[in-house]
Chain A
Amino acid sequence: MGAPAKADVARLPEPDVAREWLATMTLIRRFEERAGEMYARAKVGGFLHLSIGEEATIVGSARALRTTDYLVSTYRSHGHALVRGTPPEKVMAELFGRVDGCSRGRGGSMHMFDLERRFMGGYGIVGGNLPIAAGVALASDYTGTDEVTLCTFGDGACNQGTFGETLNLAALWRLPVVFMVTNNQFGMGTALQRHSAVTDLRRKGEGLGVPGMSCDGMDVLDTHAVLSWAVERVRTERRPVLVEAITYRFRGHSMADPEQYRTKEEVAQWRERDPIPAFGELLLGAGVLDERQREQIDADAVARVDAAVQFAESSPHPEPDSLYDDVYVLDRARWGTYSVKTTDPQAHPSSPAERQRDDAAQAADGADEIPQQMSDALLLGEEAT
């Protein structure tokens, strides 16, 4: 590794900011490596999609947001929760299916969520998150705030009808949403050129009124620079933008992927551009980081992940009693109103925990008149849960 290019050094943010980016990318990497191990040990079930290799797209984009901005992602979103500040404990507990998980054990790896940090969810249906993100942006627009929503999805998702439908409507209604396609070259086992007639994905919004640009998704600096520009343009001009982040997933699509659709050489080539060591080297060369600090960043990440696993292990499984909790909002209804056996309303009562939570929410809500539903609190999803 020679001295870093002057241009790169010039693009560096403040030293502590740069170190935080490296630390967060490292945390995501270590977290997901461990999640993979936990999956192999059957601590984690279902599907587990890792974004190893794509960390720069996550940190570079999310750090272009304000804390009041929103993020909407896919089923590949452990990193999106972590970058927004969801404690690794809660993300790991979700993977373990425990009550302290960020979706209380209901969602699992594909369905992360953190309302407080405005991470409006990971979604298991390819393309399902685009209209949701535009709807979040609609609420921001409607309530007259200058919040922006960042919606991330994969190259494969561009082929869903929701892509065209959402981009058109977002452009038509001038909604403050940045669409970011994380082009990791594959939709599952189907390579980009086998699933998309236009492989220059940033151009896919042109005919829909959404201008596009691209960034090097292996470079956190470039990703951050382009996304910052996009986010601020959307915030001020209120016209959606499409950003294509060009990257690569180093691991299989999910844990059970023999990866017969690509060569080891191709993977090895991309691994040479691993965004984490690359950024680390840049910071070392620029004198922003020394070897000792670099090791410390890694050790800290490992320690946080250790703590997350411990926490997840000791968090309880949901009680069988809670199976029917939250199918409906019960806070304004009589208990049992919506239960399955109408002849036996107590067959599936809401659990004591649900009742307590909803009682607290109702108390905090104060009123239950209609106008309440139009209030900011509800539109912004800030119920006191």
Chain B
Amino acid sequence: MSELRYRDALGAALREELHRDERVLLMGEDIGVFGGAFKVTAGLLEEFGERRVRDTPISENTIVGMGVGAAMSGLRPVVELMTINFSLLAFDQIVNHAAHIHYMFGGQVRVPLVVRMPQGAGHQLGPTHSHCLEALFLHVPGLLVAVPATAADAKGLLKSAIRDDNPVIFIEHESLYGVRGEVPDSEEHLVDFGRARVSREGSDVTIVAVSRMALTAERAAAVLADEHGVQAEVIDPRTLRPLDLDTILASVRKTNRCVIVEEGWPHGGVGANLAALVCEQAFDDLDAPVARVSGADVPMPYSKPLEDIAYPHEPQIVDAALQTLGAAGSR
């Protein structure tokens, strides 16, 4: 085990996979000379050269599209987009092409492409740089979607993503890059897609939380235990497609209560989808309606005080959990 920052865990995954497999190459804006907007790829150009680590022009749709073509032809490209908002410029290639090619051509060709990008609010980057859009990708059949919250998962999921034969949307979080965590040293440290991580066990309420919210939910669970005597079970699905519904349902059957936490918008969000699944499959086990905690239904504002209240923090999660238990809110 080594203690690594999330960013360095991702860098290690890329380095190891570049070493392991000659077919792996990286493309992205400012990933080489500049070292990456968030420094995930720092040092890789020096180590692997321009053939493997490619600075691209600012042409999101085209670099993702070239990733699709290269992947169809036997390479295993990893494309970095500077933030998830810019993936919207590449939505055509991601949805119309990457996601559908395997199906559209009758399974004859594969698209082993990874598109990495960070999301998230908290840095006052305003309405063009701050959103959480995992739900958009979750919507699309043909894509796998990973949302790692810890350094170990960042590394293990990225390595698995690169080795997977499907297109993977790999969503990092800007606020997590500097967070440290224990990471297994093995070059074969892989985290399987479709396996949730139970970060805290408990019997009173199930809290399912994605991306950065997995950590916020852990802190909320500590408050619930310390201040309210409530034992929450916290589940980080780690991947949204495939989704480890079994682990979530087993927990709900035990606690009879479910809170879903996401940073993105509520309409058609991760929580909306998951709440439907839980209601369809565990309705009889529920003692309270499924509760959702989400980002506010607004474009992310620049103003610090407005941004602060536009995405969830511990108190909202605590409140939602207490409500499912029929208790009054904490505030």
Contact = CB atoms under 8 A, between A and B. Distances in A.
Interface of A: 45-47, 97-98, 103, 105-108, 110-111, 123-128, 156-157, 159-161, 187-190, 194-196, 260-261, 317-318, 320, 322-324, 327, 339-340, 348
Interface string B29-41: 1100111010000
B304 interface: yes
Contacts of A123: 128
13 contacts: A45-B304, A47-B129, A110-B125, A110-B126, A110-B128, A156-B58, A190-B55, A195-B58, A318-B306, A320-B306, A323-B306, A323-B309, A323-B310
B140 interface: no
B267 to A, nearest CB: 7
A323 B298 contact: yes
Contacts of A106: 126-127, 301-303, 306
Contacts of A188: 29-30, 34, 37
Interface in B276-331: 296-299, 301-306, 309-310
B239 interface: no
Nearest to A324: B298
A127 B299 CA distance: 20
Nearest to B300: A106
Contacts of B299: 327
B123 A46 contact: yes
A161 B59 contact: yes
B309 A97 contact: no
A239 to B, nearest CB: 26
B55 A107 contact: no
Contacts of A128: 128
Given A156-B57, A159-B57, A196-B57, A107 B85 contact: no
A178 B266 CA distance: 41
A161 B304 contact: no
A317 B305 contact: yes
B91 interface: no
B79 to A, nearest CB: 15
5 closest A-B pairs by beta carbon, nearest first, are A189-B34, A108-B302, A124-B128, A45-B124, A159-B57
Binding site secondary structure of chain A? loop
B126 A107 contact: yes
A105 B62 CA distance: 34
A270 B155 CA distance: 43
Contacts of B303: 97-98, 105-106, 317-318
B160 interface: no
A128 B61 CA distance: 13
Given A106-B303, A157-B58, A327-B297, A124 B126 contact: yes
A327 B57 contact: no
Contacts of B250: none
Contact of A323 (B85, B127, B128, B296): B296
Pick the most buried of A98, A188, A317, A322: most chain B CB atoms within 10 A of its CB. Answer: A188
Nearest to A317: B305
A340 B297 contact: yes
A320 B309 contact: yes
A187 B128 contact: no
Nearest to B34: A189
Contacts of A320: 305-306, 309
A126 B191 CA distance: 35
A195 B30 CA distance: 10
Interface in B232-271: 266-267
A123 B33 CA distance: 26
Question: A98, A108, A160 — which one has the most chain B CB atoms within 10 A of its CB?
Answer: A108
A320 B303 CA distance: 10
B89 interface: yes
Interface string B54-72: 0111111110000000000
A125 B85 contact: yes
Contacts of A110: 125-126, 128-129
A160 B123 contact: no
A103 B126 CA distance: 11
A281 B267 CA distance: 60
Nearest to B55: A190
Contacts of A160: 58-60, 89
Contacts of A159: 57-59
Nearest to B85: A125
B135 to A, nearest CB: 15
Contacts of A105: 301-303, 306
B267 A340 contact: yes
A127 B29 CA distance: 14
Contacts of B128: 110-111, 123-125, 128
A318 B30 contact: no
Given A45-B124, A46-B123, A327-B297, A97 B304 contact: yes
A196 B296 CA distance: 40
Nearest to B36: A189
A46 to B, nearest CB: 4
A123 B127 CA distance: 10
